[in-house]
Structure 1
Amino acid sequence: MEIGIVIFGAGRWGVHLVRNFLNHPQSQVIAVVDPSPKQLQAIQERLQLDRDIMLIESWKEALELPGITAVAIATPASTHYEIISAALKKGYHVFSEKPLTLEHSESVALCKLAEQQQRQLFVDHTYLFNPVVQTGKTIVTEGRLGELRYGYATRTHIEPVRPDVDALWDLAIHDICILNAWLQETPVEVQANGIVWLPQQPPQSDLVMAKLTYPSGFQAFLHLCWLNPDKQRRLGVVGNQGTLIFDEMSAEQPLVIQHGHLEYLGDRWKAVDVSREVLTVEKAEPLAQVCNEFLNCIHQNTTSQISSGWVGAKLVGILCALNDSLQQGGKTIKCDQS
């Protein structure tokens, strides 16, 4: 049975959602919604949308269309709570872009509302469906790195610069999501410092340096910037037997283990057993896997074990703690564990 779905947002990511739901045999795209007529025209022309697919500027009007089973939200994060809440109250399953909301309390409220309505609330944390990330999780959980020591991630580019959120909210969620999945735990406290260069109102941090501390004592350090021409998407987890590296900019070798450890030989420490292992990873479009998971959750009416609303709410809680630290000059902030 096909699931009638309406996609809210015809921007950069909304286009990809429309394409994937159009191509999935279990879904039927009923409408695309965006307040910009230009965006709607552009997506219609780019994807050659069938004339039966409605193009609507008002999200409230779209929620009244017949035949809807689910909605997909790819609008600015500041609009998520109102739209998702309204959709759940109408009895629709909801697919939301990340972050789920900009307030932890609102994310928790949406999760509880979804449970009350017996509807699925699913968050598009695409990296969790990336075969590279899934393979990396297996490497870490199998103990192939030895005793874990620390982690690091760099996520930089020269644009886009978002007007609705700063570099922290725009970029950090990706690496935190991956680290949480690999470590199978979530931070208990965080720190963040930022620098503002662009004259935006309100001021937004263009560079953020953050630290996450996990229950095990593992610490991860994040470098986030959207004003750096040196585009990087690189994350590492270091153990006493080697380092697992996910380099998204390396198309041919995105996941490697840099083996090696130190031994005290003679009168000094020396690196031994140093080698580079390129890991084989299957090819698949992560977003296609995301959409498939959402539709399967609807068919089975079961909560996703990978990227449920509660997973999204936990990540929002971590971001809120980081934001509090940022606003307080780098003060250590405890993460809400609810």
Structure 2
Amino acid sequence: MIGLAVIGAGYWGPNLVRNAQATPALHLRWLCDLNESRARSVLGPYSTVKVSTCYEQVLADPAVAAVAIATPAATHFDLVRAALDAGKHVLVEKPLTCSYADGVKLVQAAQRAGLVLMCDHTFCYTPAVQKIRDLISAGEIGDLCFFDSVRVNLGLIQPDVNVLWDLAPHDAAILDFILPADVRPVAVTAHGTDPLSTGRACVAYLSMWLSSGVLAHVHVNWLSPTKIRTVVIGGSRRTIVWDDLNPAHRLTIYDRGVDQAADPDERRQALISYRLGDALLPALPESEALGTVMTEFAAAINNGRAPRTDGRAGLRVLAVLEAAAQSMALGGARIDIPNGVAP
């Protein structure tokens, strides 16, 4: 069993603790948080897991081989770097860190030390996203035509990041996970508004041009009175609709769409036909994604391999977020993403 410490007992930390304790390959030894009473309340009165307010104490324990970090994004670089320097494998909540340049340093440090650096891109481990990835890689939907995501709710306004950095990493990570290996975002535009004068954007719209010519779009919002988690992925043959809030019909594959004329001259005349086919609801297992994350983290350590959402995946997400922040600051200008973003 791999000795594990969880750093951070706030919003996400308790979920890490619960799933770590349910993962046979992991042995949770420490929970570290600046608020000791909060950490103890997460563990309960009968837990044998140690509690500390000092992460240096946790990293000094030779029984700890890995750490899972669930702290504010601004603390990620220092905590991840300290853990890697101490010879620990690291699972870190999204985003990897607050800047692409710092992310490169962390990825390179993990490479030099031969350690696993994994990003907790939780949605990539849901049965629905795993199925979507399989469908796209098998060519079941044909060529990708569009990606449209809505992630809105009446949510917690974060003190350190805007809504784009809080919610859009999920969608950027999902897109990175399901795209074919030879397709990547090459440019972005982003717009954001702050209608409540909070000092940070609470509503944002992100568009990403892919190397295949496809346009992907993401809408994120902290101010919606209703919660919506919907992704529509259109292909030349079929369209996938993922409604994460509908457990009965979480994933639907539509054999419906628009067929263009095969002849180029006819296409220029915009001659199209509508295809009305069946809708398929594939059966998906009900499993907690974070449990799969923990299993993957342990397997990557034990097998000496890169996890499915490794540090490079985190860098690709950071490249999109940094370009989006630059675009938003410039009033929505198109910003190119350099090729070969990961070291």
| d(CA) in 2 for partners of 1:140, 1:264 | 21
**Displacement of 1:264 after TM fit?**
8.6
Gaps of 5+ in 1: none
How many residue pairs get aligned? The number is 330
- Check if 1:278 corresponds to 2:274: no
TM-score, L = length of structure 1: 0.93
| Residues 65-104 of structure 1 mapped to structure 2, 5 A cutoff | 65-104=61-100
**Displacement of 1:270 after TM fit?**
5.1
| Residues 187-198 of structure 1 mapped to structure 2, 5 A cutoff | 187-198=185-196
Residue in structure 1 matched with residue 228 of structure 2 by the alignment: 232
| d(CA) in 2 for partners of 1:199, 1:49 | 45
| d(CA) in 2 for partners of 1:269, 1:334 | 33
Residues 185-224 of structure 1 show CA distances to partners (whole Å, capped at 9, x for unaligned) of: 3201100000012333xx2100001100110001111111
Q: 1:149 aligns with which of 125, 145, 149?
A: 145
Q: Tell me if the contact between 2:254 and 2:279 (Cα under 8 Å) persists in the aligned partners.
A: yes
Q: 2:103 aligns with which of 95, 102, 107?
A: 107
Q: 2:197 aligns with which of 189, 196, 199?
A: 199
- Check if 1:299 corresponds to 2:302: yes
Change (3 A) 1:4 1:242: same
Letter in 2 for 1:132: A
Q: 2:131 aligns with which of 121, 128, 135?
A: 135
Worse-matched range after superposition: 113-122 or 271-280: 271-280
**Displacement of 1:127 after TM fit?**
1.5
Residues 39-59 of structure 1 show CA distances to partners (whole Å, capped at 9, x for unaligned) of: 2132123xx552x32111122
Q: Tell me if the contact between 2:239 and 2:257 (Cα under 8 Å) persists in the aligned partners.
A: no
| d(CA) in 1 for partners of 2:51, 2:97 | 25
Residue in structure 2 matched with residue 261 of structure 1 by the alignment: 257
Gaps of 5+ in 2: 262-270
Q: 1:309 aligns with which of 297, 302, 311?
A: 311
Residue in structure 1 matched with residue 268 of structure 2 by the alignment: none
Q: 1:245 aligns with which of 238, 241, 248?
A: 241
- Check if 1:175 corresponds to 2:171: yes
Residues 245-290 of structure 1 show CA distances to partners (whole Å, capped at 9, x for unaligned) of: 111011111111122134699xx85533233221222232211111
Residues 17-69 of structure 1 show CA distances to partners (whole Å, capped at 9, x for unaligned) of: 11111122222111101112342132123xx552x321111222322234111
Residue in structure 2 matched with residue 19 of structure 1 by the alignment: 18
SS of residue matched to 1:229? strand
TM-score, L = length of structure 2: 0.91
Change (3 A) 1:79 1:276: same
Worse-matched range after superposition: 309-318 or 80-89: 309-318
Worse-matched range after superposition: 101-110 or 54-63: 54-63
**Displacement of 1:298 after TM fit?**
1.2
SS of residue matched to 1:321? helix
Aligned CA-pair RMSD = 1.9
